[in-house]
Structure 1
């Protein structure tokens, strides 16, 4: 066995350990705990959070680099991606239809986690010498808990993860799709991505916010419209698909076709794991973008950020999962993006192009969002002088990723992704009293303001 193979086996073992049952329990347990502490805010304030995100688009006279809508879209750009297409397919192909139910559970609990992350990111953010907002887990851990070393640990893992999860893996996926679907050479795809991404990345968060504010709604709408058209054309079998998801969440799925069979525990494990990968709740990436938002109160941006998990898991992943089950392709033995493409093609001629095009747009936006996460992590560690060199190196790796063999990079990315989560979850749990206090104060003051308005209105009418 070569030295490289030995290192790869060590990394694979470390990744399996990091993403084992203890980490998944910690991630889900944090969501359960925060849901209890916040009294189910993800359900009680869901309508209000969508109003803040999509109706009240910008709060005038507030501090921040981008609107709270652009911050949401930047976070979504890094979240809605291969996990919503390939990840869902893998979960159902290995765990059966019941895995989709546990993805829903993970998504609902993850909304509370995402809320807490964004609230702390805004509350503990700082302003750089250039006047830009800096925030995220490294800041709320170091400032809120006075534990710089733990914040620095998160920043190191995030800066490294950006090159894998957010960069090379994405460009490689795009190159693979363009090659298999349209016959375009990977190096040409890599060059195109390198040039187009650099035009946005070098302009910083304001450029990224503008591009993702247009690109993300467009790409999500494109994918959803195609998927909804398929489900509408097959509406009569959709109720049966939903019933199968619920049934198999609590009962084993027997082997059929190319499907090897699944226990309830495997369905839970696959649903939870892929649900977390699809929305990144608890990993600590999205609050870095939330910290840049123009917002009047930390709770406002927290509510806006909460919709990210709902959109990613409860809408996009659900659409993918239903199409996989309605098509019957989930039991074929295929997996990943190839399974999703086949399911779309089965139900709609040319449907595979919806998946291919969606993957390209998802991956492109992910590259942009993760560059911002990485550079803010580097800025925390080394100051602003490190941002431009980081951007230039990051851009170069976009091209490398398109033509490289990334089996090792995938494994390494998974490892560092999991290592990001640990310091962030520690910070969330220890700072949960702050989250609860800020939330209560905000809604108390909001109720008081409404009561004052209602008491003034009759008095002014009488006068």
Structure 2
């Protein structure tokens, strides 16, 4: 949440307005223009003199001529210490402007922009389109290519209009999606109301029991679990990826901090509320541990009439020769009804 607040606030504060009135912003803009350092190098004292800072103040600041790079808060404290509170109030802003030097991070801005374009395919479109196409195929039998083509046309109609159209569409579509999902989740949870308390107890209780420990052990390490958590968290709320601030930069809000506070709620709604509802839906409905019968459709199976143990040399030899085409083994033929790995009807040989 803090990450989202910071990146959106900075993107909104340092956005740029083009000649045609369009607004552009994002992490690449404040990387390029607004990351600065404060240094008392010899050249800064020349600028102090040009900016008409009194000579006696410049002399007091020369003790700081050590090429050290300062943060803004630290440099203000250092200035106060050497020239006093009164002179700092009078000349402080001019001194800061004189010793302020932008850091050329255009290369970082370019890398970020390219990485954002690439990541937009991975986290911003492909998984969602895959889920939509799979759902439509399983429910209505619609071809995946047809679904992808329709979504591509709709997406193109939005992004061609630029950042304003993207912000306009998402500002209406995303709340509607969240409301529909929220109502659907509440309906499922309400239908299985008797499982709400056991589900919450399972969520809270398993954190401190063996199942969570076993899950963590199977995950391999704390680092792996942490990595998976960060990945899923980023995917759910987009905090830290840097793409959401690009859209927030086009907002009409005049105060960057207020826009950052609005963005602050997004990770909470996405990760805490929506993900919690999803977990309760899965647990209360019982689908998470429901065993479904396997259905083999149009699948060719080879079933041996005898049992061959791959731990026994004779069995290994027989199977190897069969796979190599050097030996034939008796097979079961006909129609087989298999339930949980057990043949139910009487097969033929």
Q: Report the TM-score when normalising by structure 2.
A: 0.57
**Counterpart position of 1:116:** 6
Q: 1:181 aligns with which of 139, 143, 154?
A: 139
Matched, 1:152 2:106: no
Give yes or no for contact 2:188–2:285 (8 Å, CA) kept in 1: no
Which aligned pairs between 1:248-263 and structure 2 lie closer than 5 A?
248-253=206-211, 261-263=214-216
Structure 1 residue 269 displacement after superposition: 5.4
List alignment gaps of at least 5 residues for structure 2.
36-102, 293-349
Structure 1 residue 252 displacement after superposition: 3.1
Q: 1:211 to 1:276 in 2, by over 3 A?
A: closer
**Counterpart position of 1:231:** 189
The structure that is helix-richer by fraction is: 1
Matched, 1:296 2:254: yes
Q: What are the superposed Cα offsets for residues 239-277 of structure 1, whole Å, 9 maximum, x if unpaired?
A: 33222222222433179xxxxx51374766544432232
Structure 1 residue 308 displacement after superposition: 1.1
Q: 1:329 to 1:304 in 2, by over 3 A?
A: same
Give yes or no for contact 1:118–1:301 (8 Å, CA) kept in 2: yes
Equivalent-residue separation in structure 1 for 2:32 and 2:211 (angstroms): 46
Equivalent-residue separation in structure 2 for 1:169 and 1:273 (angstroms): 14
**Counterpart position of 2:21:** 131
Greater Rg, structure 1 or structure 2? 2
Q: 1:276 to 1:248 in 2, by over 3 A?
A: farther
Q: 1:220 to 1:319 in 2, by over 3 A?
A: same
Give yes or no for contact 2:123–2:235 (8 Å, CA) kept in 1: no
**Counterpart position of 2:65:** none
Which aligned pairs between 1:172-321 and structure 2 lie closer than 5 A?
172-253=130-211, 261-263=214-216, 265=222, 270-321=228-279
Q: What are the superposed Cα offsets for residues 284-319 of structure 1, whole Å, 9 maximum, x if unpaired?
A: 121111111111211100001111111111111111
Q: Report the TM-score when normalising by structure 1.
A: 0.44
Q: What are the superposed Cα offsets for residues 122-155 of structure 1, whole Å, 9 maximum, x if unpaired?
A: 1121112332221111112222223221121111
Please tell me the root mean square deviation across aligned C-alpha atoms, in Å: 2.5
Aligned length: 219
Q: What are the superposed Cα offsets for residues 317-367 of structure 1, whole Å, 9 maximum, x if unpaired?
A: 111011112233334589xxxxxxxxxxxxxxxxxxxxxxxxxxxxxxxxx
Equivalent-residue separation in structure 2 for 1:187 and 1:211 (angstroms): 24
Equivalent-residue separation in structure 1 for 2:133 and 2:173 (angstroms): 19
Q: 1:169 to 1:327 in 2, by over 3 A?
A: closer
Give yes or no for contact 2:164–2:250 (8 Å, CA) kept in 1: no
List alignment gaps of at least 5 residues for structure 1.
1-110, 256-260, 335-463
Equivalent-residue separation in structure 2 for 1:210 and 1:290 (angstroms): 11
